[in-house]
Chain A
Amino acid sequence: MIGAMSASEKTQDLRARLERLEQGVTRLADGPDRASLVEGVQALRETVERLESVERAERHQLGHDLRVPLNAIAGWAHILRLDATSVDTVHRAVEVFDRNIRALTRLIERYTSERAER
């Protein structure tokens, strides 16, 4: 099942498993192995939190990388709607669309190939 999940779903699944493990350890009676179990769960929690943090940063970066070219495209589309009679404006807008569409395409290609590698 895990193999078909996205990175985000994997992290969520790890978090759910960790919480179940923590509840199990809490219910354990005091014994010689309890301390090392608690330590192990704590280390696991730190790993999951690091993963979540990396994932959050990646999500924000992706959002930023998508929004910046979209902003230029939306801005120039607005300008064209106001006045499409100036040849210079139309040329400039087309250049902006072209450049930013290429940037978006590269970004999608990189993102999909990274996903496939995971």
Chain B
Amino acid sequence: MSSKPTILIVDDEEDSRAALQTILGTWGYATDVASDGREALQKAAGLRPSLVVTDLMMPDMDGLSLLTALQQEMPRMPVIILTGRASVETAVGAMRQGAYDYLTKPVDLDRLRLLIEKALERGRTLDEITILRRRVKDVWGLGRLIGRSAPMQEVHRLIEQAAATPAPVLIHGETGTGKELVARTLHELSARASGPFVAVNCAAMPETLLESEIFGHERGAFTDARDRREGCFELAHGGTLLLDEVAEMQPGTQAKFLRVLEEGAFRRLGGKTEISVDVRVVAATNKDPFAAMKDGVFREDLYYRLNVFTLAVPPLRQRVEDIPLLVTGFIEEFNAKYDKRITGVDDATLKILMSHAWPGNVRELRNVVERAFIACEGDMITAKILPGTSPVAPVASWSGDSEMLTAPIGLPLREVEKQFVLRTLAAESNNKTRAADRLGISTKTLHNMLQRWGLLHRHIPRGGSA
């Protein structure tokens, strides 16, 4: 395979095309040619060139149409436009549409050579940025979602999987685990990243206000509706809408919400016109969604509509090994925010932080670190200035291939049950019949348990937590 950058030359004038191909060859580039936009598109799809140099005026599909099509298929590939029309309007039009640069015929070859080198350099820089982003992800986690533990790697995997689809996503996890950050990351990795991300907390307001917030209202729809107002669905058009604490929504609002999910259309409160929107819906809850559905809090049809992709965000106690990384990340953030130069926490402090139960999860850890950071007068946070993180480490521990699960006194029974069931399932290579047999329960009971935890179709890794 050639390591030379490949340049695709597009020109309907055979003499110019052949000259440019010969010249670019002498400059050390691999080349291919096309005589119009359509042929260029076909060749670019297979060739994946590093750069396209195209004439502007061509029959059938001109240079600007080719540029637009290429930007959709290969948005990072630079395109240089050559033209016989030396008008400013055309140049501005081409640059506005995203051309890398624009040259007038007869082409100044020294300038073209320089432009090609710069464009390819830019392409290489963009590639390096992508690689660096991946490395940062390896070291820190996905985007701002810090964590390298097995449960977080599973969350990252599911986010990347869900981001590639337009399907609704249901995120559940305890308070403070970072459900909104998961939703935001999902949005940023999706094709809708350039669109808006709108979040609304369904638990924070009464029903009428929530409906007005989500669907908007017309003037006079209710007493205080003095003006027409767009709701979150309209504001999120082309992007992602996060409905946080979705299980807190009243049944009537849930029914309206379900209709938007199914039909992609709704009416503002007091409105007669159907409004169509293109929105990816992400719902989040701190309740066990299956249990909420069984209790009648969460509509069954809405649960199944949202349950296309379920993402369980693990509590911090199940990913204690991420605490050092999280603490480092918070300290970097606070150094920038408070303009200080604190280098980290000492070993004793880290040990305390890693043995705390963190019922408030990452949010609680962040608050504790921030308070200690503000109180810190040296360059290192010590245990003396750590606010009350006193008791306990009620975390079930699992050591590698061992068949032993150790749980401290005080660990909630439901957590013991969950950890015990999942470890048995992992030990039986995810074979549910064998796991149920070993646990002395029916396969149906195991099935129900996994469904309740949102882990029915999840592979439980050996040695890691779900």
Contact = CB atoms under 8 A, between A and B. Distances in A.
Interface of A: 60, 63-76, 78-79, 82, 92, 96, 99-100
Given A70-B105, A74-B107, A75-B23, A64 B84 contact: yes
Contact of B107 (A60, A69, A71): A71
A78 B321 CA distance: 64
A99 B18 CA distance: 14
A67 B19 contact: no
Given A68-B105, A82-B26, A75 B86 contact: no
A79 B84 contact: no
Given A72-B16, A72-B19, A100-B15, 10 more contacts: A63-B86, A64-B84, A64-B85, A66-B84, A69-B15, A71-B19, A75-B107, A78-B23, A79-B19, A79-B22
Given A65-B84, A78-B109, A71 B23 contact: no
B13 A72 contact: yes
B20 interface: yes
Interface of B: 13, 15-16, 18-20, 22-23, 26, 57, 82-87, 104-107, 109
B19 A75 contact: yes
Contacts of A72: 13, 15-16, 19
A95 to B, nearest CB: 9
Minimum-distance CB pairs A-B, first 3: A75-B19, A72-B15, A64-B84
Contacts of A70: 105-106
Contact of B85 (A63, A76, A96, A100): A63
Contacts of A71: 13, 16, 19, 82, 84, 105-107
A78 B113 CA distance: 13
A36 to B, nearest CB: 36
Given A67-B105, A67-B106, A96 B23 contact: no
A66 B412 CA distance: 85
Contacts of A79: 19, 22-23, 26
B407 to A, nearest CB: 78
Contacts of B87: 60
B57 A64 contact: yes
A99 B104 CA distance: 21
B243 to A, nearest CB: 54
B113 to A, nearest CB: 11
- The interface centre, meaning the residue of B13, B85, B104, B105 with most chain A CB atoms within 10 A of its CB, is B105
A94 to B, nearest CB: 12
B106 A60 contact: no
Contacts of A76: 15, 19
A52 B85 CA distance: 17
A74 B105 CA distance: 9
B109 A99 contact: no
27 contacts: A60-B85, A60-B86, A63-B86, A64-B83, A65-B84, A66-B84, A67-B84, A67-B105, A68-B13, A68-B16, A69-B15, A70-B105, A71-B13, A71-B82, A71-B105, A71-B106, A71-B107, A72-B15, A73-B106, A75-B16, A75-B19, A75-B109, A78-B23, A82-B23, A82-B26, A96-B15, A100-B15
B106 A74 contact: yes
A87 to B, nearest CB: 15
Contacts of A63: 84-86
Contacts of B22: 75, 79
Nearest to A69: B15
B137 to A, nearest CB: 46
Nearest to B14: A72
A78 to B, nearest CB: 6
B83 to A, nearest CB: 8
B15 A99 contact: yes
Contacts of A69: 15
Contact of B104 (A65, A67, A100): A67
B19 A96 contact: yes
B36 to A, nearest CB: 15
Contacts of B109: 74-75, 78
A24 B82 CA distance: 47
A46 B26 CA distance: 53
Contacts of B13: 68, 71-72
A48 B105 CA distance: 31
B355 to A, nearest CB: 73
B104 to A, nearest CB: 7
A72 B20 CA distance: 9
A94 B20 CA distance: 16
A96 B16 CA distance: 9
Contacts of B85: 60, 63-64
Central interface residue in B15, B57, B85, by most chain A CB within 10 Å: B15
Nearest to A82: B26
A35 B347 CA distance: 92
